[in-house]
Amino acid sequence: MADIMTPALGESVTEATVARWTKKAGDAVRKDEILVELETDKVSLEVAAPADGVLEFIAAEEGATVEPGAVLGRLAEGAAGAKAAPAAAPAAKKEEPAPAPAPAPKAEAPKAAPAAAAPLAPSAQRIVAENNLDGGAIAGSGKDGRVTKGDAIAALEARANAPAAPAAPSAPREIHEREERVRMTRLRQTIARRLKEAQNNAAMLTTFNEVDMSAVMALRNQYKDGFEKSHGVKLGFMSFFVKAVIHGLKHVPDVNAEIDGTDIIYKNHYDIGVAVGTEKGLVVPVLRDADALSLAGIEKGIGALGKKARDGGLAMDDLQGGTFTISNGGVYGSLMSTPILNAPQSGILGMHKIQ
């Protein structure tokens, strides 16, 4: 027997969701064949079979939340797993003893009459009436338990400071016959939550500027064919954008910094996040030490990260530690946008259609 375990999920990631099983219980599998796909807040992971055999049972069904080291299922290895294990015979039902006769009901003791509410001072009566307080629930501190003005004010403050009762979950909206309800992936849920948190927690300011790209376009048109022959990669605009961003960050280091509590951390390295749209959602892999790369190195790095993102092969290290982000809405024909900060970074550049 071999347990199929949840792998390590990366720094700061404590759980994953089982997205899809590619096999069902009883199926024969080969070593290193993909059995199950997991989704975390940042990436998707594939878990392969540790040996040849038969998938004996699935412990974590699709949609279940698992932690690193949790058992996902079990594999019957080799010849022993040639056939699926037969279902266990149902255990013989034990005879249950006859229920004991119910004891005779006891006579209830007469309830004591409720104590009379403490008298309220005239000034307390006005506070209770104006604020709809329950005068009988206020403990009086005056003579003979009299509720004073101070007691009423204290009760009013206590009500104001009491935590609000959680709102009752709303019933799912009825779906029209021409509508379809699809559960969001864990990645999409995380994207939505973090973008909203960035809006709520950062004082964001967006500026719009036109840039004369004629010189860059002329340079690219002049050298793009020879560039591709020499380096095996096309000369795009992103490499120019990255170089321009790094030049700007060196002149304004505050933008290449982040706030940590009461401190500002200035980054003396330039790890540029590049937003990539995939079928599962938007991800921002990081191009490390971009200041040390040539135009060809930047284009190759961005191309490799984009392919990994679309193939679902990004690792946690590919997504962590960026100092600044570039979003290129121009590939979708966008003329203008207001990109949201990729927290805890301090800036993001949105590039748009060149015309």
Q: Which of 81, 104, 132 is the last residue of a domain?
A: 81
* Maximum mean pLDDT: which of 84-98, 180-194, 259-273, 278-292: 259-273
Q: Which of 24, 59, 81 is the last residue of a domain?
A: 81
Q: How many domains does the chain have?
A: 3
Same-domain pairing of 314 and 255: yes
Q: How confident is the model at residue 187 (pLDDT cuts 50, 70, 90)?
A: confident
Task: Identify the helix (H) or strand (E) that includes residue 73.
Answer: strand 71-77
With 0-12 / 13-18 / 19 or more C-beta atoms within 10 angstroms meaning exposed / middle / buried, residue 304 is: middle
Q: CB neighbours of 247 closer than 8 A, spacing ≥ 6?
A: none
Q: What pLDDT does 92 receive?
A: 46
Same-domain pairing of 316 and 217: yes
Domain membership of residue 145 (yes or no) is yes
Q: Quick one: angle between helices 214-231 and 295-310, nearest 10? A: 80
Q: Comparing 302 with 187, which gets the higher pLDDT?
A: 302
Residue 87 has pLDDT above 50, yes or no: no
Q: What pLDDT does 97 receive?
A: 53
CATH value at residue 286: 3.30.559.10
Half-sphere exposure of 312 (CA within 13 A, CB side): 12
Domain membership of residue 23 (yes or no) is yes
Domain membership of residue 14 (yes or no) is yes
Domain membership of residue 89 (yes or no) is no
Same-domain pairing of 205 and 343: yes
Residue 145 has pLDDT above 80, yes or no: no
Same-domain pairing of 346 and 210: yes
Same-domain pairing of 206 and 141: no
Backbone angles phi, psi at 266, to 5 degrees: -90, 130
The arithmetic mean of pLDDT across residues 324-352, rounded, is: 90
Domain membership of residue 100 (yes or no) is no
The arithmetic mean of pLDDT across residues 92-102, rounded, is: 51
Beta bridge partners of 258: 265
DSSP string computed for 92-116: PPPPPPPPPPPPPPPPPPPPPPPPP
Tokens of residue 67, six digits: 């932690």
Same-domain pairing of 205 and 278: yes
Same-domain pairing of 272 and 142: no
Query: pLDDT for 246-281, tens place per residue?
Result: 999 999 999 999 998 899 999 999 999 998 888 777
Task: Identify the helix (H) or strand (E) that includes residue 228.
Answer: helix 214-231
Q: Quick one: angle between helices 122-130 and 149-161, nearest 10? A: 20
What burial letters (b/e) apply to 30-39, b meaning 16+ CB within 10 Å? eeeeebbbbb
Q: How confident is the model at residue 297 (pLDDT cuts 50, 70, 90)?
A: very high
Tokens of residue 242, six digits: 């990255």
Same-domain pairing of 228 and 334: yes
Domain membership of residue 319 (yes or no) is yes
The arithmetic mean of pLDDT across residues 106-124, rounded, is: 58
| Torsion of the alpha carbons at 329, 332, 333 and 339, rounded to the nearest 10 | -20
Q: Comparing 104 with 320, which gets the higher pLDDT?
A: 320
Domain membership of residue 334 (yes or no) is yes
Same-domain pairing of 205 and 134: no
What is the C-alpha separation between 21 and 59, in angstroms, rounded?
Answer: 11
The answer to whether residues 242 and 272 touch, using CB atoms and an 8 Å cutoff, is yes
Among the listed ranges 14-18, 26-30, 88-92, which one has the minimum average pLDDT value?
Answer: 88-92
To the nearest whole number, what is the mean pLDDT of the chain? 83
Domain membership of residue 285 (yes or no) is yes
In this structure, the chain runs to a length of 355
Among the listed ranges 81-90, 121-130, 316-325, 334-343, which one has the minimum average pLDDT value?
Answer: 81-90
Tokens of residue 243, six digits: 């170089």
Cβ neighbour number for residue 123 with a 10 Å cutoff: 14
What is the CA 335 to chain-centroid distance, rounded? 29
What is the CA 208 to chain-centroid distance, rounded? 30
The arithmetic mean of pLDDT across residues 46-63, rounded, is: 89
Q: What pLDDT does 82 receive?
A: 45
Task: Provide the residue range defining the domain that includes 40.
Answer: 2-81
Task: Categorise residue 104: left if φ over 0, alpha if ψ from -120 to 50, beta otherwise.
Answer: beta
